[in-house]
Chain A
Amino acid sequence: MAAALRALLAGQGITDPLMVGIYTGGVWVAQRLHRLLGLENPLGTLDISFYRDDFTRVGMNPTVKPSLLPVNIEDRHVILVDDVLNTGRTIRAALNELFDYGRPASILLAALVDRGGRELPIQADVVGTRIDLAAGEHIKLHGPQPLRLSRVSGAR
């Protein structure tokens, strides 16, 4: 993923991107990528709990972590990082939250795993791996040290 991202950034002429990880797994992946790419801007973190589209059905996340964007994102190139890309609703929520902080110049999306099942027209620019899951199967990232993926059966 780091190599693919580096090539993508070079191809687009982006030299000082701001990387932002989505809690919780996305932050773990972003920490690794941030180090591998040697990015100068500090890593940002995003908790999209207040932006979920199913709040009135599932209630509030009991452990919301404050989002932290260490630099102004106005006109900045952002790399958004999540662990598992599934329906696309988390990314939709993250995009909405980012725009409440300012108007970035561009946003690239990097996901460790694309497991399909999209409900929104959202695709990642860089994907670590694609996994086809059986009905009722889910994927879970364990971390932060070491990072490990596992398949989980049944409800999450």
Chain B
Amino acid sequence: MDKRNIQLDDDGQLRHFLTIEGLKRQMLVDILDAAESFTSVTEQTVKKVPLLRGKTIVNLFFESSTRTRTTFELAAKRLSADVLNINVNASATTKGETLLDTQRNLEAMQCDMFVVRHAVSGAAHFIARHAAPHVSVINAGDGRHAHPTQAMLDMFTIRRHKGDFYKLRVAIVGDILHSRVARSQIHALSTLGVEEIRVIGPKTLIPLEAHTLGVHVHHDLRSGLRDIDVIITLRLQHERMTGALLPSEHEYFQLYGLTEARLDLAKPDAIIMHPGPINRGVEIDSAVADGPRSVILNQVAHGTAVRMAIMAKAMQRLPSLPARELH
């Protein structure tokens, strides 16, 4: 990344949202506060506000993701923007057009924002670096690098249930090594000042340099869950089973699956989160996933409001002319 944070404009306002890294605590708090306001929009008869009326937002998904794309689309529509969903599998990129050419063409159509999902780390950053001045880029997940909007909706969910971040102990359980969600969550939790972040998983799924992120590493679920306020379980990709990183799903569940018995080690009011979609009986027992301490569906519900907040903040421009007062 450039020394200058390309996510911010010359006045320090959010222009692109590519990663949590480099964003100050107040920026994250502002996003959470704005998301809080946007939750009220869903309570209106007309569930939308005219904030981004006349703007065109492109969902540029090079990797399939129904849930994330849907919440971005819903968020954009609730802000009154026009939304284009580009089916990349059927697009010109499969005919040989470069990513940059695709971007240039969409910009020529006067699109204002790209929401980018890509299997390659850094793809959203690449598009942002080449974006026209009037265009904002939101990272909807790139390779193993970052998934910052997911991390922010997780932070929103934690704040809703726990209030202040400072005294919290948070555990992230599972495949930390391949998880862009975990990376973004760790950066967000650190920036928001939680007391302790633990990562829990087998040695094969925790990066060697994990300690450089300021987290405590546990390979034993029981010791890792002790006195924890928030447990975030990660989705286990099936390909990790065939990649010799894990012996079997069954064994993983035996060692790292979240069961009601193991929850007893955490604080009695601990909440359980999961970015979804969940593998029942692999990362988490059904009784826990559907139990009273699970806030997994709350996370989904918060996704739209948080993405509305991020889109609105990225699209806002400081005035080039003196502001006209509203009275």
Residues on B with beta carbons closer than 8 Å to the beta carbon of A129: none
Residues on A with beta carbons closer than 8 Å to the beta carbon of B38: 50
Q: How far apart sit A82 and B327, CA to CA, in the bound complex (Å)?
A: 9
Residues on B with beta carbons closer than 8 Å to the beta carbon of A55: 51, 312, 316
Which 4 interchain pairs have the tightest Cβ spacing? A86-B327, A59-B316, A66-B40, A50-B49
Residues on B with beta carbons closer than 8 Å to the beta carbon of A155: 322
Interface status of B13 (Cβ within 8 A of chain A): yes
What are 8 residue pairs bridging A and B, where the CB atoms are less than 8 Å apart in the complex?
A: A50-B38, A55-B51, A59-B317, A60-B312, A87-B326, A87-B327, A100-B46, A101-B45
Contact between A48 and B44 (Cβ–Cβ < 8 Å)? no
| Contact digits for B292-327, partner A, Cβ 8 Å, 1 yes 0 no | 000000000000000000001101111111111111
Interface status of A34 (Cβ within 8 A of chain B): no
| Contact digits for B13-35, partner A, Cβ 8 Å, 1 yes 0 no | 10000000000000000100110
Which residues of chain A in 66-93 are interfacial with respect to chain B, using CB atoms and an 8 Å cutoff? 66-68, 82, 84-87, 89-90, 93
Interface status of B37 (Cβ within 8 A of chain A): yes
Give the nearest-CB partner of A138 in chain B: B325
Given known contacts A66-B40, A96-B50, A60 and B34 CB-to-CB distance under 8 angstroms: yes
Number of contact residues on A: which range applies?
A: 35 or more
**Which residues of B are interface residues toward A (Cβ below 8 A)?**
13, 30, 33-34, 36-41, 44-46, 48-51, 312-313, 315-327
Residues on A with beta carbons closer than 8 Å to the beta carbon of B312: 55, 60
CB distance from A155 to the nearest CB of B (A): 7
Interface status of A12 (Cβ within 8 A of chain B): no
Given known contacts A57-B321, A96-B50, A47 and B37 CB-to-CB distance under 8 angstroms: yes
Contact between A56 and B327 (Cβ–Cβ < 8 Å)? no
CB distance from A48 to the nearest CB of B (A): 7
Interface status of A6 (Cβ within 8 A of chain B): no
